[in-house]
Chain A
Amino acid sequence: MRLPEPRGPITEALQSLRCADIGVAVDHVTAAVDSHTSPLLDCDDAQLALWLLYELHYQGFDDVDPRAEWSPAVIAVRGHLERRFEAELRELTRVEVEKRLNIEEPIADRLFAMMSDDDSPRLAQYVQREITTTQLHELLVHRSVYHLKEADPHTWAVPRLRGRAKVALMEIQFDEYGAGRAGDMHSTLFARTMTRCGLDSTYGAYVDVVPGYTLAASNAMSLFGLHRRLRGAAAGHLAAFEATSTLPNRRYAAGVRRLGYGDEAARYFDEHVEADAVHEQVAIREMCSALVSDEPECEPDVLFGAATCLALDGLAAGRLLDSWRGGRSALLRPMVELAPG
């Protein structure tokens, strides 16, 4: 994968990563960030900047020196973006977190209650009943940002947890990575679904056309995973992700089959109905419960991570539905323009 095309002054200033010099001009980038006064959460340029800075820790870029991952200038720039991004996420979820804090109820009950009270737009229902083939392809393109590296962001949390919480996380992650079978890795199943739908399943192939709100969902996971101090948020995020998966994935599988794609294309979604029925229990009842009981100071961030997952997924669902119901593409360039030839 090559470094994505710039979308504004911040990513423009990061193009120097392409040069042999592994640094970036810190003042130049931070000035570009500071001149952007509206929320970074809604800024395509800032979210792409964060995404590409995080990507240095995952698969990297063919045209960026791998040593840039730990360049102090690069880390400084990332920290500058992260401070505002985290503050915005905390503000976005403040009411939800405060409502669930300091209640004499087990954390598992509070997390399950948070999920069942969630009234995000019903994307899964739309996928099941109404989505068109082109829109399904757009959805897969959006989802490919995370699903082609599925499970990786939360794996950062493994060495940051201890005891029972670590054991529970490892059990989930082992299953995510195919339980010992490379062909069953969830990221591989997703790639197969993309291929069956005629899409390019190359890692990062569509990042240039994915709007900031989808990159933000991926960035939040990387933020939580890469900071030990935020291990509670990483655990809470995973718990919410798993606990909002089984019922929607059943609808996604039905939508994929309604459009005439076969079992092989639907398998990724079928697998998630079965796997996440296990993972949600393990993540909430075992991982989060153990973490909060062993390290009570993590409790607010467990709620923060879970609430962030729901808020960002809800935001993305709303934007996708608005675009499609308004007859518009939900990508920065419509699918038809991306078709090969």
Chain B
Amino acid sequence: MTWRRRSPRSVTVTVCPDGPLLVRGADEVIDEAGVAHEVRRPCVALCRCGRSSLAPWCDGTHKVVTEEAAKRNR
């Protein structure tokens, strides 16, 4: 009997303007403290604004950040 290894998935990263990074194909995300976070969805969103309460995942807070910035610039 032989076993065939699953061919490695390609990992893609998509940048969302004023939003997170969408990452597909990764098994885990390692944060700045070196802690590995398991990827349990087909696509994950990584925080880019630095304000997420669920880091490394995005929690939508960037919308509040960009709205505040827009108000300041008005």
User: Footprint of B on A, CB under 8 Å?
Assistant: 116, 171, 174-175, 179, 245-247, 250, 273-278, 280-282, 285
Contact = CB atoms under 8 A, between A and B. Distances in A.
Contacts of B19: 281
Interface of B, helix, strand, loop or mixed by DSSP? loop
Instruction: Identify which of B20, B43, B53, B67 gathers the most chain A CB atoms within 10 Å of its CB.
Output: B43
B42 interface: yes
Instruction: Identify which of B16, B45, B61 gathers the most chain A CB atoms within 10 Å of its CB.
Output: B45
B49 to A, nearest CB: 11
23 contacts: A171-B43, A175-B41, A175-B42, A175-B43, A245-B60, A246-B59, A246-B60, A247-B60, A247-B63, A250-B53, A250-B59, A273-B60, A274-B57, A275-B41, A277-B45, A277-B58, A278-B22, A278-B41, A278-B43, A278-B45, A278-B58, A281-B22, A282-B43
Given A179-B42, A245-B60, 16 more contacts: A171-B43, A174-B42, A246-B63, A247-B60, A247-B61, A247-B64, A250-B60, A273-B60, A274-B54, A274-B59, A276-B60, A277-B57, A277-B59, A278-B45, A281-B22, A282-B22
Interface in B1-60: 16, 19-20, 22, 40-45, 53-54, 57-60
A275 B40 CA distance: 10
A278 B60 contact: no
Contact of A281 (B16, B40, B61, B64): B16
Interface of A, helix, strand, loop or mixed by DSSP? helix
Interface residues of B, number: 20
Contacts of A278: 20, 22, 41, 43-45, 58
Contacts of A275: 41
Contacts of B53: 250
A245 B58 CA distance: 13
A292 B44 CA distance: 24
A22 to B, nearest CB: 40
A35 to B, nearest CB: 46
A324 B19 CA distance: 36
B55 to A, nearest CB: 11
B51 to A, nearest CB: 12
Contacts of A175: 41-43
B60 A280 contact: yes
A282 B41 CA distance: 13
A246 B58 CA distance: 10
Nearest to A277: B58
A285 B16 contact: yes
A281 B20 contact: yes
A297 B17 CA distance: 26
A39 to B, nearest CB: 33
